Structure 1
Amino acid sequence: MKYYSVAVPVPVYRLFDYSFPEKIQPGSRVRVQFGNTEKIGYVIEELKTGASVEDPREITQIIDPEPLINKSLIKLGKKLSEYYISPLGEIMKSILPVSVKLPSRKLKERPCILPTKSDFILSNEQESVLKAIKKRLKKGEAGEVLIHGATASGKTEIYMHIAQSLIDSGFQMLILVPEIAITAQIVRRFEERFGTRSIAIWHSRMTPVRRGQTINRLRSGDADILIGTRSSVFAPFNKLGAIVIDEEHDQTYKEENPPYYDARTVAGFRSEIEKALLILSTATPRMESMHRARQGEIELLEIKEKISGTAATQIEVVDMREERRGFFFSRRLLSSMEETLDRRAQIILLINRRGYAPFVICKNCGENIKCHNCSAGLVYHQSRNLLLCHSCGRETAPPSNCPECSGKIFRYSGAGTQRVISALGKIFPDEKVLRLDSDQVAESGADEIYNKFTSGKYSIMVGTKLVAKGWDFPNVELVGVINAEMGLMYPDFRAPERLYDLLVQISGRAGRGNRPGRMVLQSMNPTHYAIRELLSGEYMSFYNKEISIREEAGFPPFSRLVKITASRTSRATAFKRLKLVSDKLSEIDGVFLMGPVESGGFSRRGKSYHLIVKDTLGKGKVRLAELATEGRLRGLRIDIDPEEMI
């Protein structure tokens, strides 16, 4: 009889011993009896010295005839279990879901596209970036590089040249994209260059059998390039040479459910383990990434010019305090829309609808009311007639005077895509308007929406932040931002960074064809530094301002955050459980606690409450790991490096 250490996906920080008469390779999924139920576990290793318990239960079934998880992925799983303070079984379930099945018959293939040669001539900047990356690949250097390239600067073309270089050397490539909605665009470009046989796709909506087929193609080396969303970072490769994270600033790379992994962090660990080059790419690098580049930890490569040769998008800011109250469109935006439609060019309108509750804005200066403790935007709760900080928990009565300018008149925000589309129908009754948001993508599919708009049947597209993703609409000349200041009111220290990212990205949707693009940005707070630095066109000006604020406040990259949440329970019980944890952390050097406080999200089963741990020296996380192994965190959700503070 042989003995094996098995990771079972249960919220327990340990492995379990099982027996089996035959040899089982590590990485195989097996069916085991666990308590009174059957579960699928993951063989981590064979126990050469025997089981740690007397007479362990026997494995009831081997699911995989050969392991689908290789040694590198097991090593990655262990690393992630330690980093995210998450049971190894839960991590292994993310790496290879229990539902994945290998196909028993040949599945229908996508229409065959043969590879074609490109006559595209790289710019000098593109050539310089490509040369630096090829130099690393030739030397077999892993590590990380950051491509800071302007929107429409041809980053995808660089990816294709890197892919060709890797394929020629016998390696494979993973390209991570933030949204399933835009996967089809980049896949189409790669298939036209490399043919369908070389390309594999990975996303959350794949069937278990289709995912199994993709795993087979990658393991056998049949597929050279995998293009996928967040979970594709766990895909097994035969010989991985490089990982590209496109739009690395995008927060959708963070998983919102246990084990709350961040695909960018996972890719970093995987790059180290498999000696693959990690390439971060975006027009708006995260503060953390640029800080590491400035510290010399990663190589910075820059592309400043658009490949089309057209000038950067012209941006005009409209002070909405001087416009008609309660009307979505300024006079300048309306006149720009009329001019654009007369030329039969297209328009994108962005509704910056972020958050779920009203924010209080001073009508005089445009500032939203902020928390005195942590500077996050305060949220108005009408039922209690108070302002609540969902970041640190501070409560305050609505002010009678604005703390910035002493103004006495306030307004409460609110605008949505449906209301804007309805207003457009009255102003431009002869123009067809298309909606693009997550609900519409789920209903119609991204491909259908993309084809409808590029066909020219629709003149105007209205959407939320999804419209700012990497869409390529060559006939769009004008972008209008309806309510830019909404991004600043979200109660999170990252709000200015996210607003800046959003505005840069949405500006890049205009002028991708032969004619220059324009953007009309409406705001009640036009002098905010995120908008001011956008007009300067210099990312580093924004970075320098924002990083100084972060350093003074002790937020990332100058600390690590942990969010601990108690959900589906009463306020008293939640606070009691969270206080037990905070008491264990409060005396640790370099640890600062925020909360407990009611969370922003709500569940039909009850409210949630959370505690934010700001850890500047790393000692708090070490103590949390100890508490987890002692069983003190059972029933609490632990989110390492959270993207959301509420």
Structure 2
Amino acid sequence: MVPLRRLPPHLSEFTYRIPEKLAQHVAAGSVVRVQFKNSLIHGIVVALHDEQESPQSSKDIVAVAPISLTQTQLVLARHLAELYVQSLGVIFNSMLSDPPAQLKPASRVKDTISVLKKPVEESTYLLYKQPDAFYTYLASHLGAWRHDGQTLLIAPERMQRDALVSVARRAGAADVLLVPDKRRRHDFARAWQQSGTAPVIVGGMLALLLPFEKLKRIVIIEAEHQQFHRAEQNPRYHLADIVWHIAESYHTQVILSGFSPNIRLLYHCLQKKYPIKQITGSPARPARIVDLQHERESGNFSLLSEPARDLIERTSGRLLLYYNRQGYARLTVCADCGFTVRCERCDFPLALEGSRKLLQCGNCGFERAVLLQCPKCGSVALRSKGTGSDRIVSDLKKLFPGKSVASFSSRSRAGDHGSAASDIVVATAAILSQRSFRFDAGIMLNADLDLHIPNYHAAEALRHAIGVLRSMAGELLIQTFDPSQYVFTTLTAVDHFYREELNWRKTLSYPPFSTILKVWVREKDSAVYAERRDQMLTYFRPALPTGPFERREGSAYIASILCKLKPGDTGALDLLRSSSYTWMHAEINPYQLL
């Protein structure tokens, strides 16, 4: 039996006795209630053996829940536990729903081992410029698919899932099952139970772990979307890590799609010689690249290039101005002593919130009043540095008094968009989720911003953002200080982008040419933090890690290390598997390195 709680990977299986009254109800995959230390907890039965093999001290199973995992899920869980160096209990917990009393046990899939030995049916990668082209493709196939096993449609965001449900119903799939967020516990539990037989299922990435009986194909929408890289659940599953394991477990076809390729998924497809196809639709206008360095040489030092000003002036409809930095100013600095105003909780620089005249931390949300003098030297020469989206709104209102200007960011409330009727909308990355928005033109103010973050997915993420913006705006202008960067030179050539990005990752030994292990400690008590940080460093010293990288997040102290593992190198993973430190956290191939 495996307890549904986080334990060291090598200490996760325990032996319990089955009372005679429960003997007919317990099988491999059953969810049971047992006495564990001083608590009653749930666990998963992973194997049955004769009573003679059980230790005399074994406790009895107390009760059996009315749901169970399938045999395919049990085998898949072991794969994922090995891949993510997690206890089976953590993996099982991510596969389960809460067991409402009225639900019946899910049926079990047999012949799991023979299924795992079968090859995956030929998969494919479909690339498009307009989502409508892919939805048309999907609608033309769903009518036949719903009579041929189960089809699972995975989308990163709720709005896209709702669109998929509409497409499926228009294609005749009236009984499409929408899997809700797991936080809606009872709704998710009912969807979990129905997923065994539903012909068409729509959900987020965790829907990949449902108890299917006849799964025939998995369709991934926007496989390059960052939500598939940085899922928030524990363990942090990443699409490129798990989708092929699941496909092999169910002997199912995988259909990937997107504006731009997920490099790791595309690499796998090409290694397997799966076809890569372009879906044609209404042609998108090519993006224009503006060299900001040339603008500086011409004497223009503003955020808007001359072509950008011209585009704003001649656009009679709505215009999107994309700038992925919130606030009014990014820093408040003393001009006399150089002191930078930082967050009291996490030491992050405080940004000026122009609309509310506050200093706000973009990391933990801490707020304080604007300072009138420097806390260090007493000078009143405090200066705001850097530019945020709120300041751009203010500047645009002065530059173009005849146009209405609004902002859109993660602070904007759903359904309350002054931007809906504005001539110019200044938006952060939050706009990328609003696929129903349409603009006559768009401008990326500084496309280089997101290329300089510690994230080996940066080029991939920027290319995805450009693809989304091109689908929302009739004309797109991209401002950059480095127009020779391959993200911009390969906008119309996916194969060239793939080769450039793959060469860069190979040179620096990033995935898919290595596995990156990130290990960290997080503590609120500074003394406990320092002790555990040093223990972590000592324990992983044989693996030659990089770090520690230390930061504050709210009231917590965080220290992390990174280990790059080449194929066949399992040293750091073996150390993690044998560790008994439950306060150490780990992530494989993290989205954010630091």
Give the 3 Å change call, closer, same or farther, for CA 574–209 of structure 1 in structure 2. Answer: same
CA displacement 1:30-82 (0-9 Å, x = unmatched): 22222122222222232345554323222223222x42x21111111111111
The structure 1 residue matched to 2:15, chosen from 17, 23, 37, is: 17
Is the CA contact (8 Å cut-off) linking 2:325 and 2:428 kept in structure 1? yes
Look up the match of 1:246.
221
For the residue of structure 2 that corresponds to 1:317, the secondary structure is strand
Post-superposition offset of 1:494: 3.1
Post-superposition offset of 1:559: 1.0
Is the CA contact (8 Å cut-off) linking 1:7 and 1:44 kept in structure 2? no
Answer yes or no: is 1:83 the counterpart of 2:83.
Answer: yes
Is the CA contact (8 Å cut-off) linking 2:326 and 2:389 kept in structure 1? no
Look up the match of 1:494.
457
Q: What letter is aligned with 1:322?
A: E
Give the 3 Å change call, closer, same or farther, for CA 420–39 of structure 1 in structure 2. Answer: farther
Higher mean displacement: 320-329 or 51-60: 320-329
Distance, in Å, in 2 between the alignment partners of 1:594 and 1:53 is: 44
For the residue of structure 1 that corresponds to 2:256, the secondary structure is strand
Answer yes or no: is 1:611 the counterpart of 2:590.
Answer: no
Post-superposition offset of 1:141: 5.5
Look up the match of 1:573.
531
Q: What letter is aligned with 2:285?
A: A
Answer yes or no: is 1:47 the counterpart of 2:49.
Answer: yes
Q: What letter is aligned with 1:180?
A: R
Is the CA contact (8 Å cut-off) linking 1:6 and 1:45 kept in structure 2? no
Identity over the aligned pairs, expressed in percent?
21
Look up the match of 2:156.
178
Post-superposition offset of 1:277: 0.7
- In the TM superposition, what are the counterparts of 1:411-560 in structure 2 within 5 Å? 414-427=386-399, 435-440=407-412, 443-444=413-414, 448=415, 457-469=421-433, 471-473=435-437, 475-510=438-473, 517-534=474-491, 537-560=492-515
The structure 2 residue matched to 1:299, chosen from 274, 283, 287, is: 274
Look up the match of 1:56.
58
Q: What letter is aligned with 2:269?
A: A
Distance, in Å, in 1 between the alignment partners of 2:208 and 2:440 is: 35
Distance, in Å, in 2 between the alignment partners of 1:262 and 1:241 is: 21
Answer yes or no: is 1:227 the counterpart of 2:212.
Answer: no
Distance, in Å, in 2 between the alignment partners of 1:316 and 1:615 is: 38
Answer yes or no: is 1:273 the counterpart of 2:245.
Answer: no
Give the 3 Å change call, closer, same or farther, for CA 351–194 of structure 1 in structure 2. Answer: farther
Distance, in Å, in 1 between the alignment partners of 2:82 and 2:101 is: 30
Distance, in Å, in 2 between the alignment partners of 1:26 and 1:418 is: 57
Q: Structure 1 length normalisation: TM-score?
A: 0.72
Q: What letter is aligned with 1:12?
A: P
For the residue of structure 2 that corresponds to 1:261, the secondary structure is coil
Is the CA contact (8 Å cut-off) linking 2:143 and 2:171 kept in structure 1? no
Look up the match of 1:158.
137
Distance, in Å, in 1 between the alignment partners of 2:133 and 2:79 is: 35
CA displacement 1:227-248 (0-9 Å, x = unmatched): 1112211122231111111111
Distance, in Å, in 1 between the alignment partners of 2:422 and 2:99 is: 40
How many pairs align?
Answer: 521
Q: What letter is aligned with 1:463?
A: A
Q: Where do 5+ consecutive residues of structure 2 fail to align?
A: 104-117, 332-346, 351-382
Give the 3 Å change call, closer, same or farther, for CA 381–262 of structure 1 in structure 2. Answer: closer
Give the 3 Å change call, closer, same or farther, for CA 430–206 of structure 1 in structure 2. Answer: farther
Q: What letter is aligned with 2:60?
A: E
Post-superposition offset of 1:96: 0.9
- In the TM superposition, what are the counterparts of 1:332-351 in structure 2 within 5 Å? 332-340=307-315, 342=316, 344=317, 346-351=318-323
Q: What letter is aligned with 2:176?
A: I
Give the 3 Å change call, closer, same or farther, for CA 25–437 of structure 1 in structure 2. Answer: farther
Is the CA contact (8 Å cut-off) linking 1:80 and 1:266 kept in structure 2? yes
Look up the match of 1:126.
none
Give the 3 Å change call, closer, same or farther, for CA 382–274 of structure 1 in structure 2. Answer: closer
Answer yes or no: is 1:561 the counterpart of 2:516.
Answer: yes
Q: What letter is aligned with 2:15?
A: D
CA displacement 1:325-345 (0-9 Å, x = unmatched): 7754334323313322x2x3x
For the residue of structure 1 that corresponds to 2:121, the secondary structure is coil
Q: What letter is aligned with 1:235?
A: L
Q: What letter is aligned with 2:502?
A: I
Give the 3 Å change call, closer, same or farther, for CA 141–81 of structure 1 in structure 2. Answer: closer
Look up the match of 2:3.
7
Q: Structure 2 length normalisation: TM-score?
A: 0.78
Post-superposition offset of 1:480: 1.3
Give the 3 Å change call, closer, same or farther, for CA 458–152 of structure 1 in structure 2. Answer: same
Post-superposition offset of 1:205: 6.0
Post-superposition offset of 1:459: 4.1
For the residue of structure 2 that corresponds to 1:619, the secondary structure is coil
Answer yes or no: is 1:142 the counterpart of 2:86.
Answer: no
Distance, in Å, in 1 between the alignment partners of 2:64 and 2:393 is: 56
Post-superposition offset of 1:102: 6.3
Distance, in Å, in 2 between the alignment partners of 1:193 and 1:518 is: 32
Q: Where do 5+ consecutive residues of structure 1 fail to align?
A: 105-138, 360-379, 384-410, 511-516, 587-592
Give the 3 Å change call, closer, same or farther, for CA 192–8 of structure 1 in structure 2. Answer: same
Look up the match of 1:364.
none
Is the CA contact (8 Å cut-off) linking 2:287 and 2:478 kept in structure 1? no
Give the 3 Å change call, closer, same or farther, for CA 29–438 of structure 1 in structure 2. Answer: farther
Higher mean displacement: 550-559 or 26-35: 26-35
Distance, in Å, in 2 between the alignment partners of 1:348 and 1:225 is: 36
Distance, in Å, in 2 between the alignment partners of 1:140 and 1:616 is: 26
Q: What letter is aligned with 2:292?
A: D
